Structure 1
């Protein structure tokens, strides 16, 4: 009996030792992946804080006196701040419009049956297959006719053409995953279709809406 207990104890010790070794190697592997992923960002930030001489030095300088001259030059001398503001206005406006138009459209496609539904769904999806270069010349000609060249609105409308299908695509699948019994129960309680959408479906579909908004903002 004592021999059996000794053998069981030794096996348990070997198992614990093997688990410890696996944990150590697992930690080392995660550390290597983490460092290899973070190092490019570290190098990018530190290079932006170096003077030109330090940035071009060989071998590279790991210790240096940081400077914000490059940031001030980019923001104020080369008008990067104005470009960033324009990008923020265009991307934010496009995202808001895409959500305001796309979420109700996605809800209608997910919940209601109507004539031409499949054709409308295919039209939304096929817009993602069109190369933006194909639409560049027609959009430019239309903008020229309407005197919208070099304005925010023309870029917002252009980006909305490609962002809206993404929002509809993601949100439609999100609304389809919400049990329709919730809508029926709300209607039995006297809720209007708009209230059912606003109070029940919209909060439940918020994860998909947020994801589609992030994609729309990035693409814009």
Structure 2
């Protein structure tokens, strides 16, 4: 007798919608885990700043505790920290404004005009970021001493502009390269001069890039420590130096250190939140231009 084959079970395959849903769930799970990894140190610092000094470094840590602002009260009662915080806000903000005034037009010229030996000029501009800070800080120390710029706010503003200028020029040149020249040609047809086309057409289109480099320049200048340690002493002390002061030789004031760190991070977060809508608008603008 011929053997009768057993009936095969029907294969179950996910539909296209099911596969897409599964991929979406996996992607969101990965993003959620990564967000937890990134944000956990921030949570740790903030929670430590809200604990009394006796509970700040207890192990295992107290996950449920009664928050207190004792560390912040002690922190802002120190006039040195307030002065350093004000110094950093003034010097960093002034340097960002100056670096945009210098770097954005320079990037536009390098993007739209044929500059002699343009490639060499771009490499020369970038070379200021190639050397490690420790290799150039002592020459700057000698120069600042000779020019009476040591421990001055003007000197630190100049230093911040120097370390951020190459970044602004390179990023903004790439951004201007992505803006079609037909926008300027249309403005010229309507009777606009070269400056009017740049001011009224190109700059508004480049606003997302300008805000991006402004944020990056602000962060790089705000968190800088080595130049502040070497080039300042009393008058132009920065907030990062004051945070460093809470790390003593024999003990570390963990509560005060966490409060100072949180206060230092806050301006950067507020700045990013304030300009977030411009960055989102820039993404949609880029899509329209490509089409």
Match of 1:195 in 2: 196
Deviations 1:10-49 (A, max 9, x none): 969x759x76994896365554444444333222211111
TM superposition shift of 1:199: 0.8
The answer to whether the aligner puts 1:148 opposite 2:149 as a matched pair is yes
RMSD of equivalent CA atoms: 2.9
Match of 1:105 in 2: 106
Residues 170 and 209, structure 1, Cα contact 8 Å, conserved in 2:
no
Partner secondary structure for residue 191 of structure 2: coil
Gaps of 5+ in 2: 1-8, 222-291
Tell me which moved more, 105-114 or 26-35: 26-35
Aligned residue pairs total 212
TM superposition shift of 1:64: 2.3
Task: Please report the TM-score for the alignment, with normalisation by the length of structure 1.
Answer: 0.83
Q: Distance in 1 between matches of 2:82 and 2:112?
A: 44
Query: Compared with structure 1, are the counterparts of its residues 58 and 131 closer, same or farther at alpha carbon in structure 2 (3 Å cutoff)?
Result: closer
Gaps of 5+ in 1: 1-6
Match of 1:160 in 2: 161
Structure with max Cα Rg: 1
Residues 99 and 213, structure 1, Cα contact 8 Å, conserved in 2:
yes
TM superposition shift of 1:54: 1.8
The answer to whether the aligner puts 1:60 opposite 2:61 as a matched pair is yes
Q: Distance in 2 between matches of 1:37 and 1:24?
A: 21
Residues 54 and 64, structure 1, Cα contact 8 Å, conserved in 2:
no
Tell me which moved more, 119-128 or 146-155: 119-128
Match of 2:252 in 1: none
Task: Please report the TM-score for the alignment, with normalisation by the length of structure 2.
Answer: 0.64
Q: State how 1:21-100 maps to structure 2 within 5 Å.
A: 22=22, 26=26, 31-77=32-78, 79-100=80-101
Q: Distance in 2 between matches of 1:72 and 1:112?
A: 55
Q: Distance in 2 between matches of 1:24 and 1:125?
A: 40
Q: Distance in 2 between matches of 1:113 and 1:29?
A: 46
Q: Distance in 2 between matches of 1:136 and 1:32?
A: 40
